[in-house]
Amino acid sequence: MTTQRRLRLGAFMRPATIHTGAWRYPGAFPDANFNFAHLKRFAQTLERGRFDAFFMADHLAVLNMPTQALKRSHTATSFEPLTLLSALAAVTEHLGLIATASTTFDEPYHVARRFASLDHLSGGRAGWNLVTTANPDAALNFGLDEHVEHGERYRRGREFFDVVTGLWDSWADDAFVRDVESGTFFDPARMHVLNHKGENLSVRGPLNIARPVQGWPVIVQAGSSEAGRQIAAETAEAVFTAQTTLAQGQQFYADVKGRMAVLGRNPEHLKILPAAFVVVGDSLDEALEKRARLDSLVHYDSGIASLSIMLGHDVSGFDPDGPLPKIPETNASKSSRERVIEWASRDKLTIRQLAQRVGGYSGLEMIGTPAMIADQMQQWLVEEGSDGFNVMFPYLPGGLDDFVDKVVPELQARGIFRREYEGVTLRENLGLPRPGNRFFKD
């Protein structure tokens, strides 16, 4: 067992908290999604806790949920990622700032510019979470009647990545000489015109912004499909993924890192960070009580729909305060169905309690004392389930404060998490190399 490897920790911050009941938790800020003062506080706390990055997921539409569930959710509306992270850049010094942008519903010139601008503003702390946008409702907000088909989205996404990185390479790192004496602001021989004409995109260039501080902002992916794994192995430097068990995590980890080896990429140059929902207590009982209280704040209307979907069976007709009856096998995801049925029997939950748990959050969770949580994180790290986690806080600010004040010192004491930031840029802190410029040698 090596003690050299260290955890990388991102914070999943859009919405500010993912749990559907979080905004109702005692002490929470129900208006956090549109209150910059709260977001600033969260970011500064993450920085105090030496987190690698603030991660901002995104949606290009109001989520498609039944109105009875939607109206109870704080997840439908939020700040737009690039504007929020730019503002946070001005009030933090070390924290990485990772924003989602879509390759299906945006233009590579815009995306290249905005991330380059964020990288300059923040002194090299930007990351781009490249998504092809799976939500079919987004298409309707961008002039299309039907969603773009999966394979077409991925082909465009791959070409989009080439164009954006090509635009970032428009200028050599030393192009801007700014020689006051001679009056030469830049060296035209150190500017490259991309002239890209491909299957999906046609972009001339050059970008009207200097090469990013990091060369390229850190490239992040979130898809876990076959196409998503392949594009991640080819291009990503961090992957945010949903893996609910260590065994699943290990399978995913081995698969993606194996693909990298086939491609000749160093597997160290991509960090795999599954989402983890962390509830901290001074005792296991206290943590479980927090979780039960949080779940109790999920409205039954929101939960029962989610539960029926996960079971592949409409359970809204059963007594909410009775136990879950035997559910026949269906074509719902077998692992989801079995997990939910196991929860019901293990924790002796009524249908209402089960619905509230599923409606609140249903992915990988770590619940317990700081030592118990550190044990789990360490096990995933050591047994190659992940390189770290994208942490989801159960409620804010309490869940975040608990993590930073109690779990982080435990991880530091074990030597598996930094006490100080190692470098200046996000790339340096993550231990990733700075990409060379494809058009100019140093």
Shortest Cβ distance from residue 109 to a copy of itself (Å)?
A: 4
Distance CA 218, CA 211 (A): 13
Nearer to a copy of itself, 115 or 417 (CB): 115
206 binds a copy of itself (CB under 8 A): yes
Q: How many residues bind a copy of itself (CB under 8 A)?
A: 74
Please list every residue from 141 through 200 that binds a copy of itself, using CB under 8 A: 141-145, 171, 176, 178, 180, 183-188, 191
345 binds a copy of itself (CB under 8 A): no
Shortest Cβ distance from residue 238 to a copy of itself (Å)?
A: 21
Shortest Cβ distance from residue 438 to a copy of itself (Å)?
A: 19
CB 115 within 8 A of CB 163: no
Please list every residue from 117 through 146 that binds a copy of itself, using CB under 8 A: 117-118, 120-121, 123, 137, 140-145
Among 1, 4, 90, 442, binds a copy of itself (CB under 8 A): 90
Question: What type of residue sits at position 375?
Answer: D
Please list every residue from 209 through 228 that binds a copy of itself, using CB under 8 A: 209-210
Nearer to a copy of itself, 100 or 241 (CB): 100
Nearer to a copy of itself, 83 or 316 (CB): 83
Please list every residue from 247 through 266 that binds a copy of itself, using CB under 8 A: none
23 binds a copy of itself (CB under 8 A): yes
> Which position has the token pair 């995913």?
252
Please list every residue from 24 through 43 that binds a copy of itself, using CB under 8 A: 24, 30-31, 34, 36, 40
Rg, the chain, Cα only: 23
Please list every residue from 272 through 301 that binds a copy of itself, using CB under 8 A: 297, 299
Shortest Cβ distance from residue 336 to a copy of itself (Å)?
A: 25
Binding mask 353-392 toward a copy of itself (x if CB under 8 A, else -) reads ----------------------------------------
116 binds a copy of itself (CB under 8 A): yes
